[in-house]
Amino acid sequence: MELRLETASDEPEEVFLDGIRALGPLIRAEADASEESRKLTPAVVDALHDAGMFRVFMPRSLGGDERNMSTGLAAIEEIARHDGATGWISFVVSGSPFMLSRLPDRGVEWAFSGPNPFVCGSLFPPGKALAEGDGYRLEGNWSFVSGCQHATVLGLFGLIAGDKGSPPQPAAFVVPARDATILDTWYTGGLRATGSNDLSATNVFVPRERVAFLGADTPRNSHHQGPLYRFPLFGPLGSGVSAVCLGIARNAIDALIEMATEKSPVGRVGKLREQPTIQVDVAKSEAAVRSARAWLYETVQAIEAETRANNIISSELRRDLILASTHATKVAAEAVTVMHLAGGGSAVYTKNPLDRAFRDIHTATQHRRSGPVQFETTGRMLLGLDPDDPLVWQ
């Protein structure tokens, strides 16, 4: 599918994407070392910074490129084609401007200050916060903080205790990374190099200007007024996971095709590619992945066009973005599973790219924003019911 690319950045989109494509050899060369250390190597992090991956969605007024969503997703997908964990970190960190869009101006300016800001965080489980002076005291433990070893700033979800009888108020608390302790918990089958450890923080004071209250009626700060930031809050999450999974699936299909030209299956005459079952598996997987990808990008680009024209997003497009993202993740995972099975015994070795693709994608699919529960949300909307997810409207 050919992308219709437009951007707020002065650099042409294809120049940016060419720079991302050029990272492929480095990402592949460092993938084993990243997985072994359970975090990206410094060489890869530096290269992503230099290529502008972490600035792709950052407001121009804060030194970012403020590119459109479809361009950012294409970059994430390309990176994940070489290594799923590197694609995951790219999606998490590049999407942080959406999470901070409701911070006061001074807070978001602080978060993205410095030459190479690296912002990540976690929504759950929520921490606890108490009002104190012109800020809040925060404490808690958070899970799945991808990229925390490289972070300069953390965004941590918490609940502000209310008065007696009133419910707690949800908010995102933005703190220096040094204020939290990394807990060494990330021992997994897939996406090992994301370093998605737990964090702990105790008695951390957070000034009011670094607190973002979460709600559809909370205005975006002055740096987040462009059409890009009209995307629903869930948009960069669900579609970002999908882009990672599509990249992993592309890698798996390509790896199987390469293997099929060389491998002779035990007990069969000829190469693997000459087996009818393999031919069918490759054809069906290719068709499914490319179709799901096309619908995802078609939906994203429809939202881009609507926000530029009307500065709003219809409920139908919000629904379709969730559904297309969830569908793309599901289809990609199914394709990787088929390719892994088609690879036979060779695919079980860690040196085989199908092994890592299988482990990575079946870890990525556990993310709630593109998990099966989203079919329930979109099914309700298709049937004329209100969605059961408040983030649809944020």
pLDDT band at 390 (very low <50, low <70, confident <90, very high): confident
Among candidates 245, 214, 238, which has minimal Cα distance to 373? 238
DSSP string, 38-67: TS--HHHHHHHHHHTGGGTTS-GGGT---B
Which residues fall within 8 angstroms of residue 89, CB to CB, at 6 or more apart? Answer: 40, 48, 146, 147, 193, 194
Cα–Cα nearest to 193, from 340, 33, 301: 33
Q: At what angle do helices 353-364 and 235-260 cross, to 10 degrees?
A: 160
**Tell me, what's the pLDDT at 6?**
43
Whether 13-99 shares its CATH topology with 231-393 is answered no
Q: Is the pLDDT of residue 2 over 60?
A: no
The domain 117-213 having CATH identifier 2.40.110.10: the answer here is yes
pLDDT number for residue 210: 97
Q: What is the DSSP letter of 7?
A: B
pLDDT, position 267: 57
Token pair 């088929």 is at which residue?
338
Q: Is 34 left (phi over 0), alpha (psi -120 to 50) or beta?
A: alpha
* Beta carbons of 174 and 211 less than 8 angstroms apart: yes
pLDDT at residue number 320: 95
* Mean pLDDT score, 96-119: 94
Determine which of 209-218, 293-302, 320-329, 339-348 has the lowest per-residue pLDDT on average: 209-218
Span 94-104, average pLDDT: 93
Query: Tokens standing for 45?
Result: 């992090």
For 219-246, what is the mean pLDDT? 90
Please answer whether residues 156 and 126 qualify as being in contact, where contact means their C-beta atoms are separated by less than 8 angstroms. Answer: no
* Cα(152)–Cα(201) distance, integer angstroms: 15
Homologous superfamily of the 231-393 domain (CATH): Butyryl-CoA Dehydrogenase, subunit A, domain 3 (1.20.140.10)
Please report, rounded to a whole number, the percentage of residues in the chain having pLDDT higher than 70. Answer: 95
How would residue 234 be classed by pLDDT, with cut points 50, 70 and 90?
confident
Domain chopping of the chain, boundaries: 13-99, 117-213, 231-393
What pLDDT is stored for residue 3 in this prediction?
40
Q: Report residue 312's pLDDT band, with 50, 70 and 90 as the boundaries.
A: confident
Conformation bin of residue 169: beta by default, left when phi > 0, alpha when psi is -120 to 50: beta
From the CB of residue 113, how many other CB atoms can be counted at a distance below 10 Å? 12
> How much is the pLDDT for 389?
74
**What Å distances lie between residue 352 and 174, 194, 258, CA to CA?**
40, 20, 11
CATH of 13-99, one of 1.10.10.10, 1.10.540.10, 3.10.20.600, 3.30.70.270: 1.10.540.10
pLDDT average, residue stretch 323-331: 96
